[in-house]
């Protein structure tokens, strides 16, 4: 007899997302594509490709978060998350199209990356020194290998999860735990490669040993916020009432709250150490965001991504009520766009052609297009499987989870 039988519960139907959400996602895709091609045809190629990079990296982070989050919770034995595991699994459905779209950044790479300009490299000693790593061939090889690793582990872990829906074998959970242990190690390496190439190499003269930790906290915070949005909407609409309750939501939002503090800690550490040492080759990153009209954007970032979410989520009740969780999670999702805008756009100017602070209408529209496309893939993936992994051996413990 299964846990559901003993509890007198019926296995829920696959989750179907309303046509209104799908239509809104499709409209966002069309607006984003239109904004991108309008910018290209209007002679704003750098703005177009920086917007493309922001959107592609944003959506890719949501996709790989699905597998990374599952791996962390498998290893940590986070039984509270079992009933909502289909959400990160559906997020991982974005990985294949997301990886392909990210690789297309190379098409406009000469508008973004100084190291792709052979003439610039020929007269720049530092770029010559970094050339064995910063070149198109190494970029394509290492990025492709990284994406293959992500796709392979996603395929294996999702296959085991779906097999378990049929057989109920506990050995499949143990197999995913072993895969998770391998993935978190390989993910640390491959995500570093992807972050360095796509974002940090925009400023090839600059370096920071904490940069990839910062992008990792972005991944954690934004991915958890997306899961919180979906779970909150499902609870508000009365879906999965027997499987996801305020106790599960509390643990999920505690994780979102923790990542908010984690982001602030890492971001402040990077800023403080660079400010304190005051070495020109390190301070260039913040100087570029302090001048040319970028300072208001830089100041707004910690307010959007830390101060407001942290204060609102401090009370216990704020973590248990979906109507209070939902706007905070949406704010965090917007704040991730804001951070990528602050990381990417000021870095696209070089020499005497520095990029000036501007309203990010093109960047926001293109990123919205990527998010819309991600949502369409997510909705399709979510509806293909059972809403809950009903034969996971830990589902009974998950249903009785309290805190």
Does a structural domain hold residue 28? no
Burial class (CB in 10 A: 0-12, 13-18, 19+), 100: exposed
Does a structural domain hold residue 11? no
Query: Mean pLDDT across the stretch 276-296?
Result: 89
Does a structural domain hold residue 2? no
Does a structural domain hold residue 385? yes
* Alpha-carbon span 163 to 175, nearest angstrom: 12
Angle (deg, nearest 10), helices 170-198 and 211-236:
130
Does a structural domain hold residue 5? no
**CA angle (68 as vertex; 56, 165 as ends), nearest 5:** 110
Query: Mean pLDDT across the stretch 323-336?
Result: 97
The reported pLDDT for the residue numbered 390 is 85
Q: Whole domain around residue 393: which residue ranges?
A: 38-399
**How many CA atoms lie less than 13 Å away from 245 in the CB half-sphere?**
9
- Number of domains within the chain: 1
Average the pLDDT over each of 103-117, 120-134, 347-361, 376-390 and give the range with the smallest value. 347-361
* Alpha-carbon span 44 to 347, nearest angstrom: 15
Does a structural domain hold residue 263? yes
- Band of residue 1 on the pLDDT scale cut at 50, 70, 90: very low
* Alpha-carbon span 349 to 325, nearest angstrom: 38
Q: What is the mean pLDDT of the chain?
A: 92
Q: Helix or strand or coil: residue 354?
A: coil
Does a structural domain hold residue 20? no
* Alpha-carbon span 186 to 193, nearest angstrom: 11
Instruction: Provide the token pair at 164.
Output: 């378990």
Query: Mean pLDDT across the stretch 254-260?
Result: 96
293, 182 contact by CB (below 8 A): no
The reported pTM is 0.95
Does a structural domain hold residue 68? yes
* Alpha-carbon span 137 to 293, nearest angstrom: 36
DSSP letters, 171-230, are: HHHHHHHHHHHHHHHHHHHHHHHHHHHHTGGGGTT---TTHHHHHHHHHHHHHHHHHHHH
* Alpha-carbon span 215 to 160, nearest angstrom: 29
Q: Inform me whether the pLDDT recorded for 200 exceeds 60.
A: yes
- Band of residue 351 on the pLDDT scale cut at 50, 70, 90: low
The reported pLDDT for the residue numbered 108 is 92
- Band of residue 141 on the pLDDT scale cut at 50, 70, 90: very high
Q: How many residues does the chain have?
A: 403
């Amino acid at each position: 007899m299964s846990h559901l039988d003993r509890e007198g519960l019926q296995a829920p139907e696959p989750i179907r997302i309303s046509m209104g959400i799908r239509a809104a996602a499709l409209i966002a895709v069309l607006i984003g594509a239109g904004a991108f091609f309008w910018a290209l045809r209007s002679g704003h190629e750098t703005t177009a490709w920086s917007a493309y990079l922001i959107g592609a990296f944003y959506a890719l982070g949501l996709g790989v978060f699905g597998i990374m989050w599952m791996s962390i919770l498998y290893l940590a034995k986070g039984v509270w998350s079992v009933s909502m595991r289909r959400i990160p699994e559906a997020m991982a459905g974005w990985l294949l199209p997301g990886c392909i779209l990210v690789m297309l950044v190379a098409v406009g790479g000469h508008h973004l990356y100084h190291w792709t300009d052979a003439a610039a490299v020929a007269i720049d000693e530092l770029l010559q020194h970094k050339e064995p790593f910063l070149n198109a061939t190494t970029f394509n090889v290492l990025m492709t290998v990284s994406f293959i690793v992500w796709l392979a582990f996603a395929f294996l872990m999702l296959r085991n999860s779906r097999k378990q829906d049929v057989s109920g074998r506990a050995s499949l959970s143990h197999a995913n735990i072993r895969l998770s242990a391998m993935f978190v190690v390989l993910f640390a390496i491959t995500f570093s490669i992807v972050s360095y190439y796509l974002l940090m190499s925009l400023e090839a003269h600059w370096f920071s040993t904490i940069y990839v930790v910062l992008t990792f906290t972005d991944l954690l915070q934004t991915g958890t916020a997306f899961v919180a949005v979906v779970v909150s909407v499902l609870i508000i609409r009365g879906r999965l009432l027997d499987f996801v309750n305020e106790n599960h939501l509390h643990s999920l939002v505690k994780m979102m709250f923790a990542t908010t503090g984690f982001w602030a800690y890492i971001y402040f550490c990077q800023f403080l150490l660079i400010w304190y040492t005051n070495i020109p080759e390190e301070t260039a990153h913040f100087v570029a965001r302090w001048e040319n009209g970028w300072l208001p954007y830089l100041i707004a970032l910690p307010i959007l991504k830390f101060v407001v979410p942290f204060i609102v989520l401090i009370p216990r009740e704020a973590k248990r009520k979906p109507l209070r969780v939902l706007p905070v999670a949406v704010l965090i999702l917007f704040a991730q766009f804001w951070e990528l805008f602050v990381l990417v756009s000021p870095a696209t100017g070089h020499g005497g052609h520095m990029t000036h602070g501007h309203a990010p209408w093109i960047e926001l529209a293109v990123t919205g297009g990527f998010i819309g496309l991600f949502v369409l893939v997510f909705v399709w993936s979510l509806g293909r499987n059972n809403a809950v992994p009903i034969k996971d051996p830990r589902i009974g413990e998950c249903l009785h989870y309290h805190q």
